[in-house]
Amino acid sequence: MLKKNKLIIANWKMYLGYQESIDAARALVAHEFENVRVVLCPSFTALAAVEGVTRTSRIGLGAQDAFFEDSGAYTGEISPAQLREIGVSYVIVGHSERRQYQGETDEVIRKKLRNVLEEGMIPIVCVGETFEQRQEKQKDSVLIRQMHRAFEGIELGSAEQVIIAYEPVWVIGSGQAVDPQEAEHTNAVLKQVIVDLYPSKILQNFSFIYGGSVSARSVKSFCSLDNIDGVLVGGASIRRDDFISLIQNA
């Protein structure tokens, strides 16, 4: 099987404004990154503009969230169908900040995942443990439970692509990443869940990445490992020069 290009996904969260997002996208398009697949996830307000900047490049476009219905009386929500219409190909599902601040449950995440897949888009499914769960030696059981609940009743064929992002909740924004070997082991656990749930040939449609205080200095130590197909980058992705260095170092 051909070796996959490493995935570098930038989650700009609510950091960059409209013009800042355009400027950042232009700076990235100006570089010819080799052997990596870069995906930008700007705020909803900048998605269409960033799509215009990246359209003729190899940079992908992702949304930070999507609702689980296609249309209807859902004030403030946006559907995968609406996102796909403006050129979005990827959608982050179940990020820990949405679990924390918006109270997203495993059931909601599963419904969102299903809708994203039905629209032919690529979900970036986030799973991760809290510090308390880690201290109580519950990490693996928590992650396995999150995976089973997210994919319960989800049928996958040969065409669907899925990205699983392991993001330990306790390191996000802390500047402290987990040891790369621990992330390697964790992604092996997540892979085994998929092997248990689906025919073995489906595994090749999955990518397993790590997210949590990744920097230009540390990215290679993650991306050089067999079970880590890339990284999900938050704060470091909004600092333009740092992010370019991170991509080049991957």
167 is catalytic: yes
CATH code for the domain in which residue 16 is found: 3.20.20.70
Alpha carbons within 13 A on the beta-carbon side of 88: 32
Q: Residue 158: pLDDT above 60?
A: yes
- Within a domain: 218: yes
**Domain encompassing residue 224:** 6-249
The rounded distance, in Å, linking the Cα atoms of 194 and 146 is 12
Amino acid identity of 176? Q
How wide is the angle at C-alpha 178 spanned by C-alphas 173 and 180, nearest 5°? Answer: 130
- Residue 146 domain flag: yes
Report yes or no on 14 lying in a domain: yes
Residues 61-102 pLDDT 10s = 999 999 999 999 999 999 999 999 999 999 999 999 999 999
Quick check: is 169 in a domain? yes
Among the listed residues 104, 129, 160, 167, the single catalytic one is 167
- Given 95, 104, 160, 184, which residue is catalytic? 95
Among this protein's residues, is 95 annotated catalytic? yes
Phi, psi of 166 (to 5 degrees): -85, 115
Residue 138, domain member (yes or no): yes
Gap between the terminal Cα atoms of the chain: 21
Note the pLDDT of residue 3.
63
In this structure, is residue 220 part of a structural domain?
yes
pLDDT digits (tens, 9 = 90+) for 201-219: 999 999 999 999 899 999 9
pTM of this structure = 0.96
| Residues 50 and 22 sit within 8 Å (Cβ to Cβ) | yes
The CA distance from 168 to 127, in Å, is 8
Please give the tally of structural domains in the chain: 1
The answer to whether residue 229 sits within a structural domain is yes
More confident: 176 or 31 = 31
* 1 within domain boundaries: no
Contact between 232 and 39 (Cβ < 8 Å): no
